[in-house]
Amino acid sequence: MAKSPEMVWLDVLDLEEKGDRENALLQAKSVVEMDEKHADAWMAIARLNLPPLTRGKPLMPDLKQCSKAMTALKKVIQFDPDNDLAWELGGALLIDHLGMLEHGLEWWENRRKNEPHQVTPLVEQIGILARMGYYEDCAIKLDELFGEEMDAPANQQLLRMQSVRQMVEKAASMENSEIFNPRDKLDSRWEIMKRMKNKKPITENRFLFTFTAPIVFLLGILVMDALGDTAFGTIAVFLIILFLFATITRLSNSLLNNLNRHALDLDRAIDFESTSGKICIPDEIRESKLYASMMDIKTPALKERMDMIITSGEKLPKKWELNVP
């Protein structure tokens, strides 16, 4: 007697628990062959097509793995549109791993059609728009995000809401005089990138040890001299140094962003290429140390996509626009 879909599904769970991912995937596919609407099995197919979770540095999926997982995730939300995990995983694959930001906007807009008052889709959309330099659209969605009709956010969501607002404000402030437009070959930021093409971005740790820490150290010495070597003075110095460190770190973030402006601009150009599937970065910059350093931190799937986009050689039209829902 043939097993029912639910019996096979139990086998999937058992195999996955034992670490036999290959056979678990085969059995999950058998489940959806018998019952196409089995959302849990589709979710398992998506999960099992991706590298397993590991301790330490996570394994990153390649382009083929992302594609298979996305196909399964689309089935999940088709049959179980309230599956938050599927929406979040799909968004992460589209945006973080594949660099398909326009598809990411659409993905989260589809989520909003089911849950129009949920906070997460708007936060994700605002993050995408900020990366692409669409600050006017960010402002519109920020007003909506903090509107009264939205669901009451949990503490973690509230922190994300505040974080995305600060991110947009900082980015808009940094570009208040000139928003870099990768579509425009004559944009002055291209010339700046060419001049700084061999200058890698400064990491936060390097900036911390070469700029922030020395200032805090010197100020700490001055405070110690002023308060003297007493128990009260030691405690006061410790608290003051903590305060100085937090304050200077916060104030110096804008300086770090300004120092890395050329790298942030190039990162946006890469986003435009990965989103549109067309190229806009000049060869002089693409062959530079700066470009290599930016691509080093990209995911394997995105690197594969970028290689394909570059090989195609199709130019990004000046009038190309992001389709903002």
Q: Is 210 exposed, middle or buried (0-12, 13-18, 19+ CB in 10 A)?
A: exposed
Q: Are residues 116 and 166 in the same domain?
A: yes
Q: What are the φ and ψ backbone dihedral angles of 244, each rounded to 5 degrees?
A: -65, -40
| Verdict on whether the full-model pTM lies above 0.75 | yes
Q: What is the pLDDT of residue 139?
A: 86
Does 323 map to a domain?
A: no
- CA atoms of 299 and 266, how far apart (whole Å): 16
The domain spanning residue 22 has which CATH number? 1.25.40.10
Q: Domain limits at 230?
A: 204-259
Q: What is the pLDDT of residue 143?
A: 87
Q: How many CB atoms lie under 10 A from the CB of residue 160? A: 17
What DSSP letter does each residue of 4-54 carry, written as one string? PHHHHHHHHHHHHHTT-HHHHHHHHHHHHHH-TT-HHHHHHHHHHTSPPP-
Q: What is the pLDDT of residue 164?
A: 78
Q: Are residues 308 and 229 in the same domain?
A: no
Q: Are residues 255 and 266 in the same domain?
A: no
User: How many domains in the chain?
Assistant: 4
Q: What is the pLDDT of residue 291?
A: 95
Per-residue confidence in pLDDT tens, the chain, 325 aa: 577 888 989 989 999 899 899 999 999 999 999 999 999 999 999 999 999 877 767 789 999 999 999 999 999 999 999 999 999 999 999 999 999 999 999 999 999 998 888 889 999 999 999 899 898 898 888 888 888 888 777 777 777 778 778 777 777 666 666 788 999 999 999 999 999 999 888 777 776 677 666 776 676 677 666 666 666 666 766 777 777 667 766 666 777 677 888 999 999 999 999 999 999 999 999 999 999 999 999 999 999 999 999 999 999 998 999 999 8
